[in-house]
Structure 1
């Protein structure tokens, strides 16, 4: 089992969209995938067509329910532990240990964690045991600043691997100067994820763009990125 954390302290960068699309693509590649929505705003949970789950990430992390009781099967071949605003009340010090978390989820090939915007101990909790951390970001300065902040959080959590920067909502090719600046702090994932109105349309229908517009450019981008990530995680 490998864990992939999706993080950026800045909002509006495509964290939940990326977690959703990577989960669908990894499932298409034959992997048994679990998504944990660790964001109290529950955007990814809603994007999967789930509202007000009886068991949420909070109850799972505090050991109130088993893995089987916490999991919901999505309509896109992956499983999800859904979130709710109840997660705001969690005392992360009372959560199961990261080592125990890995043990409980060992039956999955890939566990993807969608983390919240801003500074959160929930994010560093998951970063501590992450095999790979992906930071979705636009090319705007506030998004990149959020990625740099997330790099600091990862280091404070004891994560020693190089963080992967995924440029989303791209409207043009990245120039060499931008790439050289990024390379100082991150491993740049390519291709970039092209900007697409289809992403917003898919969210309103509780499906990923890979399901609703399977031959679109953005779907192809996410499939290529997912294959690369699976290679990095030695799952393919």
Structure 2
């Protein structure tokens, strides 16, 4: 099965949030594939991260490390120009950016815990950064089969919200879903071979989930490598006719 539907050449792939957790596992998994020509690994300090340096030593020029804070639009604009200078087309962009309790964001349990700084931090990382990444990479997603996939979360589903809490995280992921849905419509007009997906990775053993892992049912806390494999399987299975949809790691469609 090809990396994305209808692709019949080695893929150029960009991973945002590539230095740790799911993003790093995606880099490892993709570099091990024969149908991936090159991986662009993007994070705030990609050039300094030891794990990415080890991959660069193993895979040489097939891994390109680029420093970019995706919450800074000037840096995103520079990123787009840099990649375009070496690569005429990206076949797959995977955005694993997101925060729950870092960088000023808080997993609020009540309205009393809400504040503007925490809301802004959640929306900046979980909604604004992914869609602005797509904005600045969109010229590279035209003319050939392409997929833009961003990590959302089941708790961003309004229809599935039965517990409340986590106000800013839930709301920012719901905003991301709407932004991706709108972008899928625009991109389809420009490239009928394009796909935009929102993906729920499941609870994965990363820094984001660590404070909450005690509540995870047995067998439902995944290793990053397993999550990476499941995400890539979802991407391979869903093409342009599914653009703008929201899927869970197990292949189940999630209601908005």
Q: TM-score range, shorter-chain basis?
A: 0.3 to 0.5
| Higher relative contact order (Cα pairs below 8 Å, separated by 6+ residues) | 1
TM-score (norm 1): 0.47
TM-score (norm 2): 0.44
